[in-house]
Structure formats: C-alpha cells, structure tokens
Structure 1
Amino acid sequence: MIKSSETDLPQATISKRVRSIGAGKPGYPVVVFFVGIHGNERAGVVAIQNILEEYMNSGIEPDGKIYVITGNLEALERGVRYVDTDLNRLWEKFNTDQDFTELAESGKSLPSEYFESLEIKSEIDNILHAHEQDRPDILFADLHTTSSESCAFILLNDTLANRELAQKFPVPQILGIEENIHGTLLSYINNLGCRAIGFEAGAHSSFESIERSKAFIRLLLHHIGLVKAGYPDLEQYEIEMVDNSGMPNSYYEIRYHHYIEDINNFNMYPGYRNFDTVEKGEPLAIDEGEVIKAPEEGRIFMPLYQKSGNDGFLIIREVSPFWLTFSAWLRDSSIHSLLAYLPGVTRSDKQEFIVNLDIALFFVKEIFHLLGYRVTEKDRSTLICYRR
C-alpha cells in the first residue's frame, strides 16, 4: 500500500541553504549534494544531516570538500512539493527568452521558487568559482523520493562519465530523463560541463528511504575517493540500498511519457508500484475523463499519486548490454562528422543538429541516441539533437 502520511519522518534542520565540510585541498574530490528540491521529500535532508553530524562528531575532515545545498526552503517548512511552481522544472529557463527576468523587471508577481532558484544558482556559481581548477571533476548528486512505493534507482543524463559512476551502484539506472522531463536541475548541471546524477530512494514517507539515502551517500563518497569505507561496510551499504523487489541493476530507457495538463483531472489507477510490469493496452489512469492505456509493454515508472506535478507516469524498457557497449564505442569514433550528410539533417553549431522529420531516414532518433545526443522535439516535424 502507498503511505499517505509524510509527517512521520524525523525532523531535520532546514534553516541553512548551504553547509560544507572538508579541507578543500586543490586536486582532491569535490561533491555537491542537493536535498529538498521538493518540499515533501525530506529523506535526503535527514540522511545528509545525520552523516555530516557523524563526521563532525568523529572528527572526520576529508581532504576534498562536501557541499550540501538545501533546495526549496519554504516548501520544506510547509511540507509541500512546491509553493507556486516546481523548483525542479524551471532550470532550462536560465539564460533563455523564458527567463523570469522580464517578469521581475515588469513588477509582476513572481513565483516563490524563482527566488529559491536564484539563491541556489548563486551558490552553484560560488562553488564552481572556488574550485575552478578542478571544475571538470566536480560531482553533483540530487537526492529525491517518489510518491509511490519503489525500489531505489538512479537517474542520469546519458553521458559515458555518468554511466561509469552509476554502474557502481546495485540499483536500476534510468537513461535520458532530461528528454522527457524538462528543466531539471540535473540537466542544468550537465550543461555546465559537470557530472551529475540523481538518486531516488523510495517512497516519500518511508523510513527505508532515509537508510537508502545514507547508504547511497556513503557509497558515493567512497567511490569518488572522498571518504573511504572498509569492505564489510561497503557490503552492508550495498545491501541497504536494495529492497526485495528483485529489480536488476540494469539500464532502462524511457519509451513513453504521459504529461498532465491539469492535475485535478488526473487519477492514476491505484496499486501500481514503480517498475511494475504493464502490458500494451492496459488501463493505467484517467485523464480529462479519458481512460489512458499503456501504448506498449514495459515497466511503469514514477506513477503519480500526489496532487501536484505534471508527470502522470512514464513507461520504461531495459536496454541491452550490447546496445550500451556499441554506443560507447561509437561515441569515441569519428562518425559524428558524417551526421550532417544524412538526409534531412543540418548542423546548427558544433554540438547541435536540426532534423527535418519529413525528409530524414527512419531511426534517426535512435542513431543520435547511440552517439550520445539529447533529442527533443521542437515541433511535430523537427528534432533538435544536442551532444551531451
């Protein structure tokens, strides 16, 4: 059953935007944890606070640096996902014509999350400036939980560097989330040229989500060489990350995304757990009075059981190991220079191609995915393919 209460988790200090620990010596690892980007997701806040307190009480000071940036402070105080708008959906607006700057200058009312995002962006800039010499090696990790019962899993933009890190954890890994859920903080960080992965620990109100978050944090710090752990501890952390669902630590790709226009008109059918298998044609939800059926078989991903958000559910499918190995080989090849010669494909700059679907060959999207490009629809006949 899905737990509806989110009041049972231990309280945590949420008054500070940024905390840090470590000597910050040049050449040593730097990791930045984001917690509480959604105000009803407190497991990561509690987990990282427990670990930092343990380190400080034990006199542990890494040679590198650990930063913790707490996200939506006002929403955390209220215990809601967000106050005015989703803080994890507006990051693609920065430095574009969708930026909130024009609203600010016009004197119109601005969402609370706009001010939260400006403070977070400022702290990110400060960290990058302080560690400019080590910038390519700075790692960002975003901790979340889900509205349905779920095993732990990792979200990543599909770069080889992100894959290399994600495969060290014994949980499923979801590729290409940024193509379906836009404006995420992870995508913003990746576009800055830094590594970034997301960790989803389980249900919002589950105590297991705190334990899994703590295990993930400890394993991450070990694998990047910041705070090393002994073998018995490592084995225990891996055990704590895995539940009894039997989900393999494979890679999965998103095949379908059901976007909601009005959350008040959407109802997910009850009983679905994250990663449950679904058959093509299986009724999954009701949206705007219409029964929404699975367009293909696969596994349901992040079914929405809270009255906020616009992502009803997604369907994912496992990616074969051969496909992953082949794509890694292609990305290191010189084949990128040939893409502009494909029918309907035009290079717009060094990292980006525009694809006219009325002219392009079949499987053009799959070809660009293989080579590590983010593929988004500009309109019904145009794709934008940007090299990650």
Structure 2
Amino acid sequence: MRVAQIGSGTPEIAVLAGVHGDEPCGVRAVERLLEERPTVQRPVKLVVANENALERRVRFVDEDLNRVFPGDPDAETHERRLAHRLVEELEGCLTFSMHSTQSYADPFAIVDGVDETAARLCPQLPVTAMVETENFAEGRLMTEIDTIEVECGQQGSESAAQNANRLMRAFLTAVGVLPGDTVSRDLPVFRLTDVVPKEPADTYEVFVENFTEVEAGAPFAAADGNEQVADESFYPVLMSPYGYRDVFGYAAEKLEVLESPAAAD
C-alpha cells in the first residue's frame, strides 16, 4: 500500500485507487495528481491499495479486497491483512474509491445509501447514474468507511483512465480540496434488488443494456444458447457475459431522479 498527501494538516478527504490490481485507471489519476501537486484548499490523502496485485496485473492475490472488510491483521490472506490496514489508514476520511468494469463504458457512482452526502456530491460528478447497494455491500469498504465508489469505464481502456481523472477532480472540487466550481446534473438513482445468476456453460451472451429497463417476458441473456427470460421487469446493473464467475450481474429498481438546482434568473 502506498500513501501520500497533498496539503498540510490532518486530511478528512481521501482518494483511493488500485483496490483491484486489474483496474489501473484510478492509479493513473492519482499519479498524475501527485506529479502536478496542485495548490489545495484543504489536505487530501491519496492511497494506492493493492500494490501486489497491481504488479501482477491480477484482480487480487488471494481474495477480492473489496469483499473482505473490515479485514484481520492476523489473517492468512494478503487482502484481509491489507483491508485491516486500509480501514486504519482511511478512518475519519470521506473516501473516493475509483474502479472500472467489464460491463459498462459510462461512469456511474455506487453508494451504501442515499444519504445527505451522496445526494449532495454525486450529482456534481460526471456520472450517468447512482446505484444504492443496500443489501449487497457486505465486505465492501463502504461498510466501514464513508465511501463514494465510482466505476470509471471499461477495464483497461484509455477512456476509463481519462474518466478517472475527470471524476477525481470533480470530487475534489465538490468537497473543497481544489478551487473552482462543479456542474450539477439530473441523476437517476437505482437500488440493487437481486443478483442475476448464470449456470455453468462454455459461452454466455447478454442482450440488454445496463440501466435500460428489461420488461417482463423479455429474454435478457443466454448460457450456451439457452435464453433466460425476465420473470418481472428490472433494470440491469453491472451485467456482462464474463464480468463475474457465477452471475451475469445485478437486477435493480429505479428509485428517483435527483434534480440539479434550477439556474438563477
């Protein structure tokens, strides 16, 4: 784990990258910020988490870091020990955690719940949606630390790296670390309701777009050519053929749209 700071004093804001070793977009954004060393209005802590996995270019060494919080300092696995150290390092900080995905090119935010902080900050980020994890957050950093996660784009792509930089700077501006103003936008909010399982097969297909409603009775995926049909309508989230081993992704419901403040006359 690598930890750096810009600005003097005790940080209440942190940026986290490299939770998964096959998601380098956030690391590039953090390294760029460290190279530039901009003048800040309040201190910020910058953390690159799973350096071992990043060096090997694998998602994790022993187990998924973002599924084992709060961790254990005496655990046998690298990620559980690292999770414990991260919780200690990030305690007291609102943390902005950057990820990427195999399922969706446009950035979106993930939160444990739509509290005042999420409702205020997420519409100021260049994201297309906000997803509330509710009952699917077990073992994630957000269960221990006040966290806003962002999916920056397609894993390993140049656009994800560019998005990570834009997202990080928008967040740091919104919380008063960087000077300037942000642009608020209307933001749809979704809540995860279920996982979408997939049976063992050689080939998988997904027929639907994430965040676009799937109507009851519509085919949405297939395993070895055998179609799966929606029992009821849902919104797919993080759905892809090969992004996860045992599931296609998640089903969600649409809660509301957070509207940006009306411009003054």
TM-score range, shorter chain: 0.7 to 0.9
**Which letter does structure 2 place at the counterpart of 1:113?**
E
* Pairwise CA distance, 1:143: 0.5
Match of 1:256 in 2: 194
Equivalent in the alignment of 1:20: 5
Is there any run of 5+ residues in structure 2 with no aligned partner, and where?
Answer: 260-265
The percent identity for this pair of structures is 24
Following superposition, the deviation at residue 299 of structure 1 comes to 2.6
Output the CA distance in 2 between the equivalents of 1:257 and 1:216.
27
For residues 59 and 248 of structure 2, what CA distance do their matches in structure 1 show? 15
Find the structure with the greater CA-based Rg.
1
- 2:177 paired with 1:177: no
Q: Which residue of 1 aligns with 2:89?
A: 123
Aligned residue for 1:35?
17
**Matched position secondary structure for 1:201:** strand
Moved more, 277-286 or 311-320: 277-286
Alpha-carbon spacing, 1:63–1:74, altered in 2? closer, same or farther (3 Å): same
Contact 2:108 2:151 in 1 (8 A): yes
Letter matched to residue 255 of structure 1: T
Query: One-letter code of the match for 2:111?
Result: L
TM-score normalized by the length of structure 2: 0.82
Go from structure 1 to structure 2 and tell me whether the alpha carbon gap of 1:39 and 1:274 turns closer, same or farther (over 3 Å shift).
Answer: farther
Change (3 A) 1:267 1:35: farther
Distance 2:73 2:222 in 1: 33
Q: Distance in 2 between matches of 1:284 and 1:271?
A: 5
Pair 141,281 (structure 1): closer, same or farther in 2 beyond 3 Å: same
Partner of 1:298: 234
* 1:116 counterpart SS class: helix
Structure 1 segment 178-217 matched on structure 2, within 5 A = 178-190=134-146, 196-217=147-168
Are the aligned partners of 1:145 and 1:200 in contact in 2 as well (CA < 8 Å)?
yes
1:123 and 1:175 map into 2 onto residues whose CA distance is 26
**Highest relative contact order (Cα 8 Å, sep 6+), 1 or 2?**
2
SS of 1:319's equivalent in the other structure is: strand
Shift of residue 286 of structure 1?
A: 5.1
Note the 1:1-388 alignment, pairs <5 A: 17-24=2-9, 30-55=12-37, 60-91=38-69, 94=71, 101=74, 104=75, 110-125=76-91, 128=92, 138-158=93-113, 159-190=115-146, 196-229=147-180, 249-258=187-196, 265=201, 268-270=204-206, 272-285=208-221, 292-306=228-242, 310-321=246-257
Q: Does the 8 Å CA contact 1:285/1:293 hold for their aligned counterparts?
A: yes
1:1-52 Cα distance to aligned partner (Å, 9 max, x none): xxxxxxxxxxxxxxx5211111126xxx731111111111111111121122
Change (3 A) 1:118 1:284: same
Q: Aligned pair count?
A: 258
CA contact (8 A) 1:44 1:213 kept: yes
Flag the 1:184–1:259 CA change in 2: closer, same or farther, 3 A: farther
Which AA in structure 2 matches 1:206?
S
Alpha carbons of 1:50 and 1:175: their partners in 2 closer, same or farther (altered >3 Å)? same
User: What TM-score comes out, normalization by structure 1 length?
Assistant: 0.58
Partner letter of residue 155 of structure 1? I
Q: Which protein has the bigger helix share?
A: 1
Which amino acid is 1:279 matched to?
E
Give the letter for the 2:235 counterpart.
R
> Is the 8 Å Cα contact of residues 40 and 76 (structure 1) preserved in structure 2?
yes
What does residue 366 of structure 1 align with?
none
Amino acid at match of 2:84: L
**SS at 1:144's partner residue?**
strand
Could you tell me how far 1:203 is from its partner in structure 2?
A: 0.4
Q: Which amino acid aligns with 2:17?
A: V
Please say if residues 66 and 140 of structure 2, whose CA atoms lie closer than 8 Å, have aligned partners that are also in contact: yes
Aligned mates of 2:165, 2:121 — CA distance in 1: 17
Which shifted more, 172-181 or 36-45? Answer: 172-181
Cα 1:100–1:68 change in 2 (3 A) is closer
